[in-house]
Structure 1
Amino acid sequence: MIRTPLRAASFVVAAGVSRAVYQGLRRRPGGVRWTRTNHAGRSVDLYAGPAVALGAAAGAGSGPVAFAVLAAGACGAYDDVNGDHRRGFRAHLAALRDGEVTSGAVKLLGIGAASLVAGALLKERAVDKVLAGVVIAGTAHLVNLVDVRPGRAGLTVLALSAPGLVRGPLAAAPMGAAAAVLGDDLGERTMLGDMGAHALGAAVGSAVVAGNGRLGLAAHAVGLIAAAAWGEREASSRAHPSE
Structure 2
Amino acid sequence: MKRRNGPGRTGALRLLAGAGLGAVAARAAYTALTRRPPGLNGLPGEDVWGRTNHRGEPVTLLEGPAFVAGAAAAGLLAPGASGRVRAAALLAGAGSGLLGGYDDLAGSASSRGFKGHLTALARGEVTSGAVKILGIGATGLAAAAVAGSPAPSRAGRGFDVLLNGAIVAGSANLMNLFDLRPGRAIKVGLITGTPLALTRSGAAVVAAPLGAAAALLPEDLGERAMLGDTGSNALGALLGLAATRLGRGPRLAVLAGLVALNGASEFVSFTKVIAGNPVLNRVDMLGRRPAAAPVAQPAPADDKPGSDDAFRPGVPPQAGAPDAAPGPADAGPAGNGVAAGPA
Aligned equivalent of 2:66:
51
Aligned equivalent of 2:117:
92
Aligned equivalent of 1:227:
261
Q: Helix, strand or coil for the counterpart of 1:31?
A: helix
In structure 1, distance between residues paired with 2:256 and 2:55: 34
TM-score, structure 2 normalization: 0.66
Query: Which 4+ residue blocks in structure 1 deviate beyond 4 angstroms?
Result: 235-239
Alpha-carbon distance, 1:187 to partner = 0.2
User: What letter corresponds to residue 35 of structure 1 in structure 2?
Assistant: G
Identify which of 198, 209, 214 aligns with 1:174: 209
Q: 1:1-243, aligned counterparts within 5 Å? A: 1-2=7-8, 3-29=11-37, 30-38=45-53, 40-61=55-76, 62-85=86-109, 86-124=111-149, 125-167=157-199, 168-210=203-245, 212-234=246-268, 238=328
Structure 1, unmatched stretches of 5+, are none
Alpha-carbon distance, 1:174 to partner = 1.6
Q: Is the 8 A contact 2:19 2:212 kept in 1?
A: yes
Alpha-carbon distance, 1:140 to partner = 0.8
Alpha-carbon distance, 1:166 to partner = 1.7
Greater mean deviation of Cα atoms: 108-117 or 161-170: 161-170
User: What letter corresponds to residue 266 of structure 2 in structure 1?
Assistant: E
Alpha-carbon distance, 1:36 to partner = 1.4
Larger Rg: 2
The 3 A distance-change label for structure 1 pair 41 and 92 is: farther
In structure 2, distance between residues paired with 1:182 and 1:57: 18
In structure 1, distance between residues paired with 2:242 and 2:73: 14
User: What letter corresponds to residue 89 of structure 2 in structure 1?
Assistant: V
Structure 2, unmatched stretches of 5+, are 1-6, 38-44, 77-85, 150-156, 270-325, 330-343
Greater mean deviation of Cα atoms: 150-159 or 58-67: 58-67
Alpha-carbon distance, 1:152 to partner = 0.4
In structure 1, distance between residues paired with 2:121 and 2:264: 22
The 3 A distance-change label for structure 1 pair 104 and 5 is: same
Number of residue-to-residue matches in the alignment: 238
Query: 1:6-59 CA deviation, whole Å, 9 max, x = no partner?
Result: 112211121111110100111114221101133554320111000101112222
Q: Helix, strand or coil for the counterpart of 1:44?
A: strand
In structure 2, distance between residues paired with 1:184 and 1:237: 27
User: What letter corresponds to residue 132 of structure 2 in structure 1?
Assistant: K
RMSD: 1.7
In structure 2, distance between residues paired with 1:131 and 1:96: 25
Q: Helix, strand or coil for the counterpart of 2:267?
A: helix
Q: Helix, strand or coil for the counterpart of 2:51?
A: strand
TM-score, structure 1 normalization: 0.93
User: What letter corresponds to residue 60 of structure 2 in structure 1?
Assistant: D
- The sequence identity of aligned pairs, in percent, is 45
Alpha-carbon distance, 1:237 to partner = 5.7
Alpha-carbon distance, 1:173 to partner = 1.5
Give the structure with the larger helix fraction: 1
